[in-house]
Chains A and B, each alone.
Chain A
Amino acid sequence: MSEPRLAIEIAGVTRRFGATVAVDRLSLTVARGEIFALVGPDGAGKTTLIRLICGALALDEGELRVDDVAVTREPQRVQAAIGYMPQRFSLYPDLSLMENLQFYAEIFGVPSRQFASRAGTLLADFALAPFGSRLAGELSGGMKQKLALACTLIHSPQTILLDEPTAGVDPVSRREFWRILYGINRGGTTLFVSTPYMDEAERAHRVAFITEGAILSCGTPEELKRNLRGDVVEVACAERGDARRALRSEPLVRSVEIFGETLHALVASAAEAIPRMQQDLLAASIADAKLREIPPSLEDAFVAGLAP
């Protein structure tokens, strides 16, 4: 068995809610040991897909296997083997940090002899050790997220599914959380993460853009950026709002978006578009604009993929 094994295999999976098709004949594979990021607009089907993978939701059509176990046939076996951290993870605010861990250990049947050492390792790795007796309700947002992850990992799952684990977490805690995720991944664990943060998707081994229940494109961050059809022109100027309005009516500009302190315009050819854009800006009395072609970011690739 030297061939690379798959952690998650999704083949032609469909899930409907009434007349709405939330996941539409979707196919995707995730290799063992991969960090895989799922990115897409609100309502694209990210959460539904994750719930289907972990067997919390039944699929209407298709085939879904996690670590070689068919989710449709043995959902309980899948649920016992994986870790799933939903958007709103249920911690018990009136139980201590350690008691929460113990609770999840019991649900997942972690033998009590193993619990102490497993909990000790997780608390040490997550820098939570000094807070073992603190009530979960009294932890800061970042610490609650770490505790939720520790509970997700208490039974040493091979594959974990994380649904927007860092939404609403501050940048420093977010970095720490990702350092922890890297550490888990180095131990061989597969990570399947949905995220609205493009910088987090950049850190994944592979990324899938999902929209309207289907995969728009999938590949390494580098591949996705290479596949962007067209060039990205950065526009730096003081009056971004005026510049954006001026460039929106330029036929050579497919889209123009505020990007940090600059604008990013998506064009077919930068060489062709830059002189025209310069004229448009001058016509709108914007004289200080600096234009240059830049390598696209993953967010540019995402926006380009969604553009009509």
Chain B
Amino acid sequence: MKGETSVRAESLTRRFGNFVAVDAISFEIHSGEIWGFLGPNGAGKSTTIRMLCGVLEPSSGTAQVLGYDVARDPEAVKLRIGYMSQGSSLWNDLTVEEHLRFYAGLFDLHGAAGRKAVEEWLDRVGLTERRSELAGELPGGYRKRLALACTVLHRPEILFLDEPTSGVDPVSRREFWDLIVGFADAGTTVMVTTHYMDEAEHCNQLALIYGGRIVARGTPDELKRAPDVGVTVEILSAKNTSILDALEDVPYVLSAALYGSSLHVTVDRREDVEQLRRLLGEHGFPVDELPIVTPSLEDVFAALVRPA
């Protein structure tokens, strides 16, 4: 049922030796939701997903997936979910079609139903013409398509997709997202991680994890309006890269980045905008005004996550 709780994590924690990879995080995901999990490399995203999939035991705290406790009943969880891990789980010496047939068998899709599912997914991810190629010889983007098809073939109620589109070309990324949105429309719950902030815009809910803790959550719009993401201004100048250098160590600049031909600079407070305008003048980049713009999700991400 749409709107029911599919995932519930309470104080979920995972330690590796002295290192706390996931630090007492709590959240809920509802069925039919696309729940985006953002954060820098090493923040704890994959560790969290692996706990929810029943492949890694939590150190403390609990998580239920579709009502099953992931620590007590990991096998029941595994049967009902689809998990696309970041590392490729493909066999280099099996063909595209052999992979799909294997997964169909694994999830009890036999005979005509299995063949139908294999053909359907070959077509939907654009691999029909490459069906006889070995997975080990596929270009990176095609490997991701095959992995996605293997993950969704048995129509699981919930999908865990860990960076499904990394290395996938821009047009195929859109096709991936058409599929993901289609799954969610049909009631499937989707938990997805991505480093593409344009993809994060497709999510109904977002959580940003940093150092094992959730530091921000909400809809994409809510995150952009959060008070601690600063004030973003836009600069249009031919010398954008020089300006970027000049802003490197300015304490009140939370982030600065190029967007096509414009530069977005996020400062701490509204009062800093005038200070920034003067600073640019002193460095030989005079600007009359610095219009305040809605930050992109990438601006928000960069403001909340400071490099160590």
Chain A residues proximal to chain B, CB less than 8 Å: 39-44, 47, 87, 127, 140-142, 164, 167-176, 179, 182, 196-199, 202-203, 221-222, 241, 257-261, 297-299, 302-303, 306
Residue-wise, chain B 168-190 has the 8 Å CB interface mask toward A (1 for contact) of 11111110011001000100000
Query: Which residues of A sit under 8 angstroms from B241, Cβ to Cβ?
Result: 182
Query: Which residues of A sit under 8 angstroms from B185, Cβ to Cβ?
Result: 241
**A127 CA / B306 CA spacing, docked (Å):** 14
**Is A169 in contact with B41, judged by CB distance below 8 angstroms?**
yes
Contact status of A173 and B171, CB under 8 A, knowing A168-B166, A202-B258: no
Say if the beta carbon of B286 comes within 8 Å of chain A: no
Known interface pairs A173-B40, A258-B174, A302-B170; 6 further A-B residue pairs with C-beta atoms within 8 A, sorted by A's residue number: A42-B168, A44-B169, A141-B41, A171-B197, A261-B220, A306-B171
**A176 CA / B197 CA spacing, docked (Å):** 16
Contact partner, B139, options A43, A175, A198, A297, Cβ 8 Å:
A43
Say if the beta carbon of B157 comes within 8 Å of chain A: no
Contact partner, B260, options A44, A127, A297, A303, Cβ 8 Å:
A297
Contact partner, A175, options B172, B202, B302, Cβ 8 Å:
B302
Query: Which residues of A sit under 8 angstroms from B145, Cβ to Cβ?
Result: 42
**Is A196 in contact with B260, judged by CB distance below 8 angstroms?**
no
**A43 CA / B126 CA spacing, docked (Å):** 12
Contact status of A199 and B259, CB under 8 A, knowing A169-B195, A174-B195, A302-B171: yes
* B256-282 at interface with A (beta carbon < 8 Å): 257-261
Say if the beta carbon of B42 comes within 8 Å of chain A: yes
**Is B170 in contact with A173, judged by CB distance below 8 angstroms?**
no
Give the 5 A-B residue pairs with the shortest CB-CB distance, closest first.
Answer: A42-B141, A141-B41, A168-B166, A170-B40, A140-B42
**A298 CA / B185 CA spacing, docked (Å):** 30
**Is B298 in contact with A171, judged by CB distance below 8 angstroms?**
yes
User: Measured between C-beta atoms, what is the minimum distance from A152 to chain B in Å?
Assistant: 19
Query: Which residues of B sit under 8 angstroms from A87, Cβ to Cβ?
Result: 140, 167
Contact partner, A40, options B169, B202, B301, B306, Cβ 8 Å:
B169
**Is B198 in contact with A41, judged by CB distance below 8 angstroms?**
no
What would be 16 A-B contacts, judged by CB atoms less than 8 Å apart? Answer: A41-B141, A41-B172, A42-B139, A140-B42, A168-B41, A171-B301, A172-B301, A172-B302, A175-B255, A182-B241, A182-B244, A196-B167, A196-B173, A241-B185, A258-B174, A258-B202
Contact status of A258 and B166, CB under 8 A, knowing A169-B41, A172-B301, A306-B171: no
Query: Which residues of A sit under 8 angstroms from B169, Cβ to Cβ?
Result: 39-42, 44, 196
Query: Which residues of A sit under 8 angstroms from B41, Cβ to Cβ?
Result: 140-142, 168-170, 173
Contact partner, A258, options B142, B172, B178, B195, Cβ 8 Å:
B178
**Is B305 in contact with A172, judged by CB distance below 8 angstroms?**
yes
* B185-223 at interface with A (beta carbon < 8 Å): 185, 195-198, 201-202, 220
